[in-house]
C-alpha cells in the first residue's frame, strides 16, 4: 500500500478529518466467492465527467482570482494550494448510479463540483455543480476537461480507458480510482470478470498510482423488476433461490470517495451489501415496502437467457450471470465489512434501498 505524497496543508488535512467518519486502518478485501459481477445500467454508460475542487476549511467562498482560485475568508485570504495549482478531482460517469452519488457526497463534504457532459442541460444535476460540455470517448475534448486534474474516479468505458489515461498523464494526473467489479477477483472470472480485469491491467500498466473499487451486484439491478411488479405483482426469472449480497450504489460511492480523500494507492476494495438475500427474499421485501403481495415465478433458464439477449445484454454476459445464479442456489452469499470499516457506518440494507425507490415499484394506476 502506498500513501500518495501531496503538498496539502495541515488545514486541508484537518478539513478532511472532519468529513471522514473512520480514521482506522482499513482491512482490504481482494475477492469474494461466487457472484454475478457488476451489471451497468444505461445511465452509467454515459461518459459524463465531473470535476471537484477542494477548498480549505473555514467560512468563505471560492472565487476566481486570475492566476487561480483561492478561499476568501473573513479577515483575509487563505489558500489550500498556491494559486494556479488547485487540487482537483475528476469523476467520470457522473450521471450514473454510482457517479451521481459520488458527486452528491463530494458536494456534501464541501467540495466544489464541475460537471462535464456530452449533453449539458439533459441531466438533473445538483444546482451547486458547474456544467460544461465534454466527452470521455473523444480524446480531443479531454485536455480542457483534465486541466488541473490530479485525481480521477474512472468509470470503466472499456474502449476509452487507454486514451483517457494517456491524456491524463499529459495533464499531470497522479491517482486513478477505478470502478471495477468483484468478478475481477473471482477464481473463475468469466466474461464480465475478464473485461474488468483487463481494465484494471490497463490502469496498472499506465504507471499511475491506482485504487480499484470492486462492487458485487448492484441493488439497482432490481429496478429491472419494476415494470413486472407495478404491472401485476409477479417477478418472472430463473433461480429464485439464488442468494446475493447486493450493494447500494450509495455505499459504492462512499468507498470511492474514501479512496479519493484518503489518497491511498495500490489498494483494492471489494464491496458487498450487508445481507445475503435470495431473489425470493428481495421480492418479498419489495412487496412489504409497497404494501401489496409480490411473488417470484420461476422460468426456464433458456427463456430468461433469451429475454436478456433481446434486451441488449451480450450473450456471454447473460450466460455468466445465469451460471452465477445457478451456483448460488442453496448457498449464502459472502458479506464483507468493507463499507463499515472504511466509512465508520453500517452499509445500507436492501429494505432501505427499496424505500428510496418505492414509487418505481408501486402498482400502475389505470383509468
Please say whether the beta carbons of 237 and 296 come within 8 A.
yes
In tens, the pLDDT along 286-298 reads 999 999 999 999 9
Looking from the CA of 363 toward its CB, the CA atoms found within 13 Å total 12
Give yes or no for residue 308 having a pLDDT over 90.
yes
CATH topology for the 2-216+248-273+339-349 domain? Rossmann fold (3.40.50)
Give yes or no for residue 62 having a pLDDT over 50.
no
DSSP assignment, residue 55? P
Residue 64: phi, psi to the nearest 5?
A: -65, 135
Report the C-alpha gap between 93 and 223 in whole angstroms. Answer: 19
Give yes or no for residue 10 having a pLDDT over 70.
no
- State the cell numbers at 266: 495500490
Query: pTM for this one?
Result: 0.79
Query: Which of the two residues, 354 and 188, has the higher pLDDT score?
Result: 354
Q: Is 211 left (phi over 0), alpha (psi -120 to 50) or beta?
A: beta
Lowest mean pLDDT among 51-55, 69-73, 93-97: 69-73
Report the C-alpha gap between 80 and 131 in whole angstroms. Answer: 24
Give yes or no for residue 263 having a pLDDT over 80.
yes
In tens, the pLDDT along 100-137 reads 999 899 888 877 777 777 887 787 878 877 776 778 88
Is 270 in a helix, a strand, or coil? Answer: strand
Count the residues in the chain.
Answer: 367
pLDDT band at 366 (very low <50, low <70, confident <90, very high): low
Quick one: pLDDT at residue 71? 27
The domain segmentation of the chain, as residue ranges, is 2-216+248-273+339-349
pLDDT band at 4 (very low <50, low <70, confident <90, very high): low
Please say whether the beta carbons of 95 and 134 come within 8 A.
no
Give yes or no for residue 168 having a pLDDT over 70.
yes
Query: In the predicted model, what is the mean pLDDT of the chain?
Result: 79
Quick one: pLDDT at residue 362? 92
Give yes or no for residue 68 having a pLDDT over 50.
no
Amino acid at each position: 500500500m502506498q500513501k500518495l505524497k501531496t503538498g496539502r496543508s495541515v488545514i486541508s488535512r484537518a478539513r478532511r478529518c472532519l468529513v471522514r467518519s473512520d480514521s482506522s486502518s482499513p482491512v482490504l478485501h481482494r475477492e469474494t466467492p461466487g457472484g454475478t459481477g457488476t451489471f451497468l445500467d444505461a445511465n452509467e454508460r454515459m461518459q459524463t465527467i465531473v470535476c471537484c475542487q477542494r477548498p480549505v476549511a473555514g467560512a468563505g467562498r471560492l472565487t476566481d482570482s486570475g492566476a487561480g482560485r483561492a478561499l476568501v475568508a473573513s479577515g483575509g485570504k487563505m489558500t489550500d494550494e498556491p494559486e494556479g495549482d488547485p487540487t482537483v478531482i475528476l469523476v467520470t460517469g457522473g450521471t450514473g448510479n454510482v457517479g451521481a452519488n459520488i458527486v452528491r457526497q463530494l458536494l456534501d463534504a464541501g467540495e466544489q463540483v464541475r460537471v462535464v457532459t456530452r449533453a449539458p442541460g439533459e441531466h438533473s444535476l445538483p444546482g451547486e455543480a458547474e456544467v460544461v460540455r465534454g466527452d470521455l470517448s473523444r480524446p480531443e475534448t479531454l485536455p480542457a476537461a483534465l486541466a488541473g486534474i490530479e485525481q480521477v474516479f474512472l468509470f470503466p468505458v472499456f474502449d476509452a480507458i487507454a486514451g483517457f489515461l494517456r491524456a491524463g498523464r499529459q495533464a499531470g494526473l497522479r491517482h486513478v480510482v477505478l470502478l471495477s467489479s468483484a468478478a475481477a477477483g473471482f477464481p473463475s472470472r468469466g466474461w464480465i470478470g475478464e473485461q474488468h480485469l483487463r481494465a484494471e491491467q490497463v490502469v496498472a500498466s499506465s504507471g499511475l498510482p491506482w485504487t480499484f473499487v470492486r462492487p458485487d451486484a448492484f441493488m439497482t439491478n432490481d429496478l429491472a423488476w419494476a415494470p413486472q411488479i407495478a404491472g401485476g405483482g409477479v417477478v418472472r426469472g430463473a433461480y429464485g433461490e439464488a442468494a446475493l449480497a447486493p450493494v447500494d450504489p450509495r455505499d459504492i460511492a462512499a468507498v470511492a470517495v474514501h479512496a479519493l480523500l484518503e489518497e491511498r494507492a495500490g489498494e483494492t476494495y471489494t464491496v458487498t451489501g450487508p445481507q445475503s438475500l435470495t431473489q425470493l427474499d428481495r421480492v418479498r421485501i419489495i412487496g412489504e415496502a409497497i404494501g401489496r403481495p409480490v411473488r417470484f415465478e420461476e422460468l426456464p433458464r433458456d427463456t430468461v437467457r433469451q429475454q436478456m439477449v433481446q434486451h441488449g445484454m451480450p450473450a456471454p454476459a447473460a450466460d455468466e450471470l445465469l451460471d452465477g445464479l445457478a451456483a448460488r442456489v442453496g448457498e449464502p452469499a459472502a458479506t464483507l465489512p468493507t463499507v463499515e470499516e472504511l466509512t465508520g457506518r453500517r452499509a445500507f440494507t436492501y429494505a432501505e434501498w427499496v424505500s428510496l425507490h418505492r414509487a418505481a415499484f408501486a402498482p400502475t394506476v389505470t383509468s
